[in-house]
Amino acid sequence: MEIIKAVIIDDENDNVELLEHFLKTYCPTITVVGKGNTVEEGINIISLQKPQLLFLDIELNNNNTAFDILDKVNYTSYKAIFVTAYNEYAIKAFKYNAVDYILKPINIDDLVNAVNKILIDIERSLYTSQIQMKLFSQSLNNLNEKLEVIAVPSLNQIDVVNLDSISYLESHERYTIFHKIDSSKVVASRNIGEYEAILPSKTFYRIHHSYLVNITKIVKINKSEGSYCEMINGIMLPISRRRNDGLSNLLMLK
């Protein structure tokens, strides 16, 4: 799944930082590319970054509102989630391309549900269907027995990822995050179990219910405090007890 670019506009920095923290923790498909506190900052950031998603407080400083931003910005290919302490603006908000309206203090479930609405909305607008992407992925993955690349379908594109560039895969609910050795990420709209079945078993091993690692990128196994493997980019990942023996056999440590 493609990472969705988002901008946060709120006149209180504490609110901006809290919302950004919630998004990083609970909504991995969202990346914050800009933050602002005023109408002028909001217009400039939106025009420059052209985000897919806006998180907007409604009442800003100097009697301004988020509607003043949306009235003046030229960029219109956005979807908006209003995050505010006031419920009287709800009807007006939905006239400004609002997907959801969240009242402060922010409830995590409300935030996650709002983001999921965005994902569904984007998915429905695709010109390439999920079935077509799956067929493309299967065709590419079956080109030869020695798999060197994998097709990773996201919401509106297919990334072709070289296997040797992958450090590990991380499960996140029904999605899978591909962590590459250059620290970049690709979020896929398929669960990690599907990739465990597709990827070469001699190279990729499920060390934990949340992690599938490229064993050629393991540099160290630490058994002093539980079992962890250190990846080539310095990331430490836990190895579950029931997976220990299988990894040891694969690495010919037994």
Residue carrying structure tokens 């809290």? 18
Query: Where do the DSSP E strands lie in 158-231?
Result: 158-162, 166-172, 175-180, 185-188, 204-208, 211-214, 218-222, 228-231
What confidence category does residue 124 fall into, taking pLDDT thresholds of 50, 70 and 90? low
* Residue 126: pLDDT over 50: no
Domain boundaries of the chain, sorted by first residue: 4-124, 130-250
- Residues 6 and 52: their CA atoms lie apart, in Å, by 6
* Residue 135: pLDDT over 80: no
- HSE-CB of 59 using CA atoms within 13 angstroms: 10
Has domain 4-124 been given CATH number 3.40.50.300?
no
- Residues 144 and 32: their CA atoms lie apart, in Å, by 39
Burial 225-246 (b: 16+ CB within 10 A, else e): eebbbebeeebebebbeebeee
- HSE-CB of 96 using CA atoms within 13 angstroms: 24
24-46 average pLDDT score: 94
* Residue 226: pLDDT over 80: no
Predicted confidence at residue 137, as pLDDT, reads: 53
* Residue 121: pLDDT over 90: no
- Residues 246 and 254: their CA atoms lie apart, in Å, by 10
* Residue 178: pLDDT over 80: yes
What proportion of the chain, given as a percentage, has pLDDT over 90? 45
**Predicted structure pTM score:** 0.52
* Residue 224: pLDDT over 70: no
Predicted confidence at residue 10, as pLDDT, reads: 97
Predicted confidence at residue 128, as pLDDT, reads: 43
What's domain 130-250's superfamily in CATH? Answer: LytTr DNA-binding domain (2.40.50.1020)
- Residues 69 and 143: their CA atoms lie apart, in Å, by 50
- Residues 216 and 8: their CA atoms lie apart, in Å, by 40
Q: What is the pLDDT of residues 66-113, one digit of tens each?
A: 999 998 887 777 889 999 998 888 888 877 778 889 999 999 999 998
- Residues 17 and 10: their CA atoms lie apart, in Å, by 10
Burial 13-22 (b: 16+ CB within 10 A, else e): eebbebbbeb
Which of 49, 46, 51, 47 lies closest to 5 in space, CA to CA? Answer: 51
